Structure 1
Amino acid sequence: MRATLVSLFCAALLSVRPAPSPAVRFTDVLSQTGITFRHASGASEEKYLIETMGAGCGLIDYDQDGWLDIYFVNGGPTRMFHPEKPLRNALYRNNHDGTFTDVTERAGVPGNGAYGMGVAVGDYDRDGYPDLFITNFGPNQLYHNNGDGTFTDATARAGVGDPRWGTSAAWLDFDGDGWLDLYVANYLDFTYDKNPYCGERTAGRRGYCHPDHYNGVPNLLYRNNHDGTFTEVGKKAGIVLDDSKGLGVVAGDFNGDGRIDLYVANDSVRNFLFRNNGDGTFSEIGVVSGAAYDENGKAQAGMGTDMADYDGDGRPDLLVTNLDTEYNTLYRNLGRDLFQDVTVAAGLGGEISTFDVGFGTGFVDYDNDGWKDIFVANGHILDNIALSKPQMRYAQPKLLYRNLGNGTFADVTATAGAALSVPHVSRGAAFGDLDNDGDIDVVVSGCNAVPQILRNDGGNAANSLALRFEGVASNRDGIGVAVRYVLAGRTVYDQRTGGGSYLSASDTRLHLGLGQAREVRQVEIRWPSGAVDRIEALAAGFIYTIKERSGVSARAAFTRR
């Protein structure tokens, strides 16, 4: 029955398959950017688990000049690692010419000295300037954007400095009051004293312990008090579960009821799907919905995650990256709070994916044809994996799957630029148009490695536009906004989500690929408040600012290279 349903669905989509993709190549331009950041893991013979997690990266237009800046999270000292110079996170300002300037010290965002993990970007105080939340192995940190190019450490005042092992975080307005709340995924109850020996007792063969050796740590939900402070309401809201080992989180409305839900990728235990009940609480429905396990009922090593409508049916689907010997799992949204693992049927279960360890990921329309493609950043967790499994490597290539518009994907990694095939110990991935040229670029963070700045060359051969949201009754960032428009005779659905990927934060603007269309006749924008704006005749080639109930308040043309 499952195969029959998938076959019928694919057949129904044959008439709307996208045109052949133009030649799109990703080029690693790190050496041209002026970015000198390098992540330090502090790897040691003790094999502390934090050493192999890497750290994330975030895209943030911190100075509101219309260009994306980049924030990198770094590691930190450990019991065995004492760097001569203190490690710091780094903020790079976009110079609008393909280069970036390190403004970390000037902006005041070096981190708090803890071992860094992830980053989330959101305007929590509605002042029009995006703020930074940093997760750590150790106290988390909140930087308030002062609007003058500097930030202030607001952690203590805000009450969000939890000292446990935080990983991914997502801003969301779960109670619909127009102010961003904060969800923080926690991982394991690990300490330097809880570090058993794992692997062979032979020189060079000790390994990092499996998460099964540790208890999980409950996740956190902070409600915004509208005064610069937050109240932790996780237990009251129903998101505190004993078997949590969270690494990835995405916030979005999966069932179309106008409320922001949460999906959490857990490591080696079931994934969580928290349905928003609309009364300040959530119901965890992962198992009954079909989104907790793979198609064989097996828990996987969830790392990164994302949410988007890949098949054009108007319902957002789910993607989770996993460990080697496991597929990266694609859950198709069937409606009525049900999901189906369609990984193999969609063409994502090939041999290549079973050798890779997926981390950062995203549904991203890299070729602007109006269909969501899939990007996966890979890198093994064991630096000595080749000793026990010669066919596997620590540094691994990326994966890029093109959406064929019929419910399936094609692996186009080999033809999408040599940079994707270069082995790299990748962890985080953030997606956004760094050069404002109308196509999506990718920033990939590494573990004990330099990042990659993957410039999209050729994606803008097809048309696109971008939407920047400014909520009034809704949250300022427009998280939860649902967009519908007609492209080539079909209705396209998209959504502004929070979180996503692994330890990383992507462009807050919504990128709409248009293929050969030169304009969108009408875009319907449904805000979290319930307000609906219908914008007529949006021409391709522009970034539009949409203000709730006011329509287009500004526009800026793409800069073609």
Structure 2
Amino acid sequence: MLTKKLLIGALCLITSFKISAQTFTEVNNPVGGTSSFLGIYNGTLAWGDYDNDGDLDLVIAGFNIVSGNNTATTQLITKLYRNDNGSFTDSGVELTGIQKGALAWGDYDNDGDLDLVITGEDANRETFARIYRNDGGSFVDSGIGIVAVSSSSVAWVDYNNDGFLDLAVSGTKDGLPAGASTIIYRNDGQGNLTDSGIDNIPGFYNGSISFGDYDNDGDSDLAFIGTTNGFSTGVTTQVYRNKGNGTFENSNLTGFKSVAWGSISWGDFDNDSDLDLLITGWDSTQAVTKIYRNDLVADSIVFTDLNANVAQSNEGKALWGDYNNDGNLDILLTGRNDSLRQVYSFVYQGDGAGGFNILAADTSARTITEAQISSAAWGDFDNDGDLDMVIAGLDSSSFDGQTKLYRNGTTNFTANTKPNAPTDLTATITPAQSNTIVINWTAGSDGTTPQEALTYNLRVGLKPGEQQTQSPHSNSSTGVRQIVGKGNIFGGTTWTLRNLDWGKTYYISLQSIDNSFVGSDWSEEISITIDPGINRNAFLPNTFTPNSDGTNDFFRIVTHENVSEINFRIFNRLGTLVYQTSDVNEATNFGWDGKFNGKNQPAGVYLWYITGKFSDGTNIRFNGNNNGSVILVR
């Protein structure tokens, strides 16, 4: 039990502001028509179609407090609500209750259903982290070990372009700055996540992390806010550029307001094909909300403060999404401003040119709940073609936790229609005979979202229509999405996929995603086989006959292409090294003559190992391998 007076002290002078009921209407008793979602604050939530029935389910986690008789009942919860045609039911799935945490949906095992990662502080005030694997609608502990952190942030992302979802986790392991940690876990495609070894991204907590390709070079860059060294000295906002080789470097971009206790999100508000940045939080002295426009100036990228007329907020969310289906990104903003003693829940309507107009300036019309220490999310839960929203946080009047669902019911615009799929899809092995492919396409189109602002979802499988290599988080037949957000490969019309398996055939398709996060039908599917290298004009014979007859007397690498480096070794069946050279000329023009220490070796099977590169940097492979056997015949 907790006395209500403890909650009132610092908050009693705060004024609340709410958004218009003319557009958003509260859904009363969304759980079976008889009860509400459990109310939370200091928590997190996310939409995701975990049971693949075509509608968005909701997971919430946080501090649940219900007051009465001058006392309050409290508990930590993580609750999954199943959506059945717009009506919600407690799924009964048992998940550890947490606060000060984060969660995210993602299909890390590429089996077509959404898995769930959760981090935070549990009821014993211990840090917690777990990846739950979705097995046909049931959730089991995956057994994958990741760092347990609170005041945390998580994000699924394919940072190395191999098709498998990796995981970024940040937070504090002990509640102190010294325990701050940021780890990116690499997915090996076999259901394992291991520390990538990327160690130059600062540990931070009380923050937020977001991935997006801000420099349009075809990989996922990282932006974060948070604190690295305590309340006042370590508040920071940073962007790290993905170098395309599995590592990140500090972008050294300047001009960002350093904040923590808020959120950060990429989105192209001006529809010019590059990602802008939205942040909200506390800069150690005041609440901050900033929109930064991504500009190319003198061949360099700079982010320009838009100085937008939006509320300054912290301990809340600032989220992009096109709620009115005009093709332009709008903003949902929740949180509070301690300096002004105000609590916010605002929607700002974007005009596509940098203007953001608050919805319902008349305060008498604002009936959407205010929320502090809050979380929020866009999502079309009723599948009527527009973005609804859910808001959770502390009610500044009752000081109870609340989780409220709002239906977008305006009649001022038509329901969204899905965009058109991209066309002219091609895939090329680049560089030649490698296991990397470059995918190109002609941009899709949409009735409202400008073509330049469309993002794309990539699906890659080992059979037609399947997704064993890259999950799109969309239904493989209909294109209906399982999550709410941008496409998994952002914008543009080209993408690189690396480290594919030699000798396998991959089936590739794309869908367009508009600014309301609706997916198109799938494009025409193409296929490509990763040639193991035998057609690279480099090969090794299966047998050789060192009998000095002038035919096949040497075992050598046969190629007409330039080789830059080589290490060629041959062993007998006892494991004795009988030949070795690192000389390119010897390996390609002479090779092994069948002798060891000047003596002819007996007929039989010998094992060879080769490492090396062609002059373009491509690894030398023979039928996809760098080892094999040869028969010496006498």
- Which TM class, normalised by the smaller chain length? 0.5 to 0.7
1:466–1:510 contact (8 Å) kept in structure 2: no
For the structure 1 residues 70 and 466, does the alpha-carbon distance in structure 2 shift closer, same or farther, using more than 3 Å as the test?
farther
Q: 1:333 aligns with which of 294, 304, 309?
A: 294
Aligned equivalent of 2:483: 508
Alpha-carbon deviations, 1:288-340, whole Å to 9, x = none? 3236x33xxxx233511111110121111000012383430111111356333
2:24–2:408 contact (8 Å) kept in structure 1: yes
For the structure 1 residues 284 and 91, does the alpha-carbon distance in structure 2 shift closer, same or farther, using more than 3 Å as the test?
same
2:371–2:392 contact (8 Å) kept in structure 1: no
Task: Give matches, 1:381-400, under 5 Å.
Answer: 391-393=340-342, 396-400=343-347
Confirm whether residue 163 of structure 1 aligns to residue 148 of structure 2. yes
Aligned equivalent of 2:254: 290
Aligned equivalent of 1:219: 182
Query: SS of 1:117's equivalent?
Result: strand
Alpha-carbon deviations, 1:235-284, whole Å to 9, x = none? x3244325x33511111211111101111122462212111111110012
Give the partner amino acid of 1:317. D
Aligned equivalent of 2:26: 28
Aligned equivalent of 1:117: 101
Give the partner amino acid of 1:71. V
Aligned equivalent of 2:207: 247
- Normalising by structure 2, we get a TM-score of 0.60
Query: SS of 2:288's equivalent?
Result: coil
2:209–2:224 contact (8 Å) kept in structure 1: yes
For the structure 1 residues 378 and 29, does the alpha-carbon distance in structure 2 shift closer, same or farther, using more than 3 Å as the test?
same
- Normalising by structure 1, we get a TM-score of 0.67
**Of Structure 1 and Structure 2, which has the larger fraction of its residues in strand?**
2
Q: Which runs of 5+ in 1 are unaligned?
A: 1-21, 42-53, 78-82, 192-213, 474-480, 499-505, 513-522, 552-561
What is the percent sequence identity of the aligned residues? 27
Aligned equivalent of 1:232: 195
1:375 Cα deviation after fit: 1.1
**Of Structure 1 and Structure 2, which has the larger fraction of its residues in helix?**
1
2:39–2:402 contact (8 Å) kept in structure 1: yes
1:363–1:373 contact (8 Å) kept in structure 2: yes
Aligned equivalent of 1:442: 389
For the structure 1 residues 290 and 259, does the alpha-carbon distance in structure 2 shift closer, same or farther, using more than 3 Å as the test?
same
Q: 1:144 aligns with which of 120, 133, 143?
A: 133
- Report the Cα distance in structure 1 between the residues aligned to 2:291 and 2:209, rounded to whole angstroms: 15
1:75 Cα deviation after fit: 3.5
Aligned equivalent of 1:456: 408
Confirm whether residue 431 of structure 1 aligns to residue 416 of structure 2. no
Give the partner amino acid of 1:257. D
Number of paired residues? Answer: 430
2:40–2:63 contact (8 Å) kept in structure 1: yes
- Report the Cα distance in structure 1 between the residues aligned to 2:274 and 2:483, rounded to whole angstroms: 20
- Report the Cα distance in structure 1 between the residues aligned to 2:354 and 2:517, rounded to whole angstroms: 28
Confirm whether residue 278 of structure 1 aligns to residue 247 of structure 2. no
- Report the Cα distance in structure 1 between the residues aligned to 2:382 and 2:449, rounded to whole angstroms: 30
Aligned equivalent of 1:516: none
Task: Give matches, 1:362-381, under 5 Å.
Answer: 362-379=319-336
1:462 Cα deviation after fit: 2.6
- Report the Cα distance in structure 2 between the residues aligned to 1:372 and 1:482, rounded to whole angstroms: 23
Worse overlay, 246-255 or 485-494:
485-494
2:264–2:318 contact (8 Å) kept in structure 1: yes
Q: Which structure has the larger Rg? A: 2
1:495 Cα deviation after fit: 3.1
Give the partner amino acid of 1:397. Y
- Report the Cα distance in structure 2 between the residues aligned to 1:309 and 1:135, rounded to whole angstroms: 29
Aligned equivalent of 2:82: 93
For the structure 1 residues 410 and 142, does the alpha-carbon distance in structure 2 shift closer, same or farther, using more than 3 Å as the test?
same
Give the partner amino acid of 2:198. A
Q: Which runs of 5+ in 2 are unaligned?
A: 1-19, 66-71, 122-126, 228-233, 395-399, 428-440, 458-470, 472-480, 499-506, 528-634
- Report the Cα distance in structure 1 between the residues aligned to 2:99 and 2:416, rounded to whole angstroms: 39
1:164 Cα deviation after fit: 2.7
For the structure 1 residues 362 and 40, does the alpha-carbon distance in structure 2 shift closer, same or farther, using more than 3 Å as the test?
closer
Cα RMSD (Å) of the superposition? 4.1
1:168–1:185 contact (8 Å) kept in structure 2: yes
Confirm whether residue 495 of structure 1 aligns to residue 455 of structure 2. yes
For the structure 1 residues 433 and 114, does the alpha-carbon distance in structure 2 shift closer, same or farther, using more than 3 Å as the test?
closer
- Report the Cα distance in structure 2 between the residues aligned to 1:180 and 1:372, rounded to whole angstroms: 26
Alpha-carbon deviations, 1:509-532, whole Å to 9, x = none? 5689xxxxxxxxxx9865553999
Query: SS of 2:341's equivalent?
Result: coil
- Higher RCO (CA-CA < 8 Å; seq separation 6+): 1
Query: SS of 1:304's equivalent?
Result: strand
Q: 1:549 aligns with which of 525, 539, 544?
A: 525
